[in-house]
A and B are shown apart, each in its own frame.
Chain A
Amino acid sequence: MTEVLQIKNLTYKLNLVSILDDLTCTIPAGSIVGLLGANGAGKTTLMRLISGVAKGFHGEINVNQQTSVVNRKQQISFSHQLDGSDRRARLAQIVHDYTLLYPDFSATQFQQLADFLELDLHQRLSKLSKGNRNKFIVALTLARQVPLYLLDEPFDGIDVMSRKKIIASILKWKSETATILISDHHVNDIANLLDAVVIVKDKHVVAQEQADTIREKYGESIEDYYENLYTGGENDD
């Protein structure tokens, strides 16, 4: 399999505080990969760096053979938290902005996703429940036609039914060649969905393994494997 994402010796500091230190990992094309780590481990920062939103790092980030920020951005759809959007704007207006902003945004696919997720586009952004807001963000993110999707905590703080809907929409609309990196701290929610996991701890990747290999080789659930890596490390200190 070819690789869609290659990160080599990535080091990143913010205001002299080290956030990521010598992080290396590769993600094969066509897979769904879970990016796991405790709160504050640097998952969001890593996604921001990959997508080019955050800059000023040392090391190499290669997305689909592209290293420059401008070219990388065209390869990636990153789930924005819509913090920059006008809270009073109606969803339809935000969708319209997206079609202008991203040439690879498929209005047809967005409509299919929105119908499936039962989104009312006449509503205002500020009126959305947490579940509907996350659904809207997922629909916007997946509607772009790119090789790599970054979903940052799409299941954070939402109910079971919304989660199931979002998972189904990922399975339905992910093209065979597309790759999705999903960050989450509740592994069990998405364990069956994943081809592989990347675990971030202490500023770098401590493990990267195929999901079924973890079950087959170690006889462990993904969650146990992940928790052992975290608690095992503390015992070593």
Chain B
Amino acid sequence: MKFNDKVPIYYQIKQYVYQEIILGHLKAGQKLPAIRQLAVTLTVNVNTIQRALSELTTEGIIITQRGKGNFVTSDTQLLQALKKRIVTEQFSELYDKMLALKITPAEMVQYLKNYIDQRKEVQHD
């Protein structure tokens, strides 16, 4: 995994776990690899992995079972809320950037529609 060297590593690991969950590579209730294994795979410090996992545990995304390891929560509602949150985060960033360019919400919808159509055409070609 390539890290952005200007963004905290633990934060990037959290985003990576979110992504793996949303993509379904990590399923509800699935066991995560051991912390040390994750550290070696991602070439980061064990403490960094631990910090990311402890924040994910606080958020309820990861459940720690003593002596058994770390698991993705089986609470599907929570996982759906996670997806919604991640998508909303992306849109909120986009919205702020558009707003900074003095583009009205109505225009944003139009721009987005046009853009999606454009992408569709590119894919069809």
Contact = CB atoms under 8 A, between A and B. Distances in A.
Interface of A: 30-32, 164, 167-168, 171-172, 174, 176, 188, 191-195, 211-212, 215-216, 219-224
A221 B48 contact: no
Given A168-B43, A172-B36, A195 B48 contact: yes
A171 B40 CA distance: 6
Interface of B: 3, 5-11, 36, 39-40, 43-48, 51
A212 B8 contact: yes
B5 A194 contact: no
B40 A195 contact: no
A31 B5 CA distance: 19
Given A212-B10, A215-B5, A168 B45 contact: no
6 contacts: A30-B47, A32-B47, A164-B43, A167-B43, A193-B43, A193-B44
A12 to B, nearest CB: 30
Contacts of A176: 46
Contacts of A215: 5-9
A31 B45 CA distance: 9
Given A171-B36, A172-B36, A212-B10, A222 B5 contact: yes
A192 B3 contact: yes
A193 B5 contact: no
B36 A223 contact: no
A188 B43 contact: no
Given A171-B39, A172-B36, A195 B45 contact: yes
A103 B101 CA distance: 69
A204 B43 CA distance: 30
Contacts of A219: 6
A155 to B, nearest CB: 13
Interface of chain A, main secondary structure: helix
B45 to A, nearest CB: 5
Contacts of A192: 3, 5, 9, 43-45, 48
A211 B11 CA distance: 12
A174 B8 contact: no
A171 B44 CA distance: 8
A216 B45 contact: no
A223 to B, nearest CB: 7
Contacts of A194: 45
A224 B7 CA distance: 13
Most B-side CB within 10 Å, residue of A191, A211, A222: A211
A102 B85 CA distance: 55
A171 B35 CA distance: 11
Contacts of A188: 5
Most A-side CB within 10 Å, residue of B10, B11, B47: B47
A167 B6 CA distance: 21
B5 A195 contact: no
A216 B46 CA distance: 19
Given A192-B3, A193-B45, A195-B47, A172 B40 contact: yes
B46 to A, nearest CB: 7
A83 B45 CA distance: 31
Contacts of B47: 30-32, 195
A196 B9 CA distance: 12
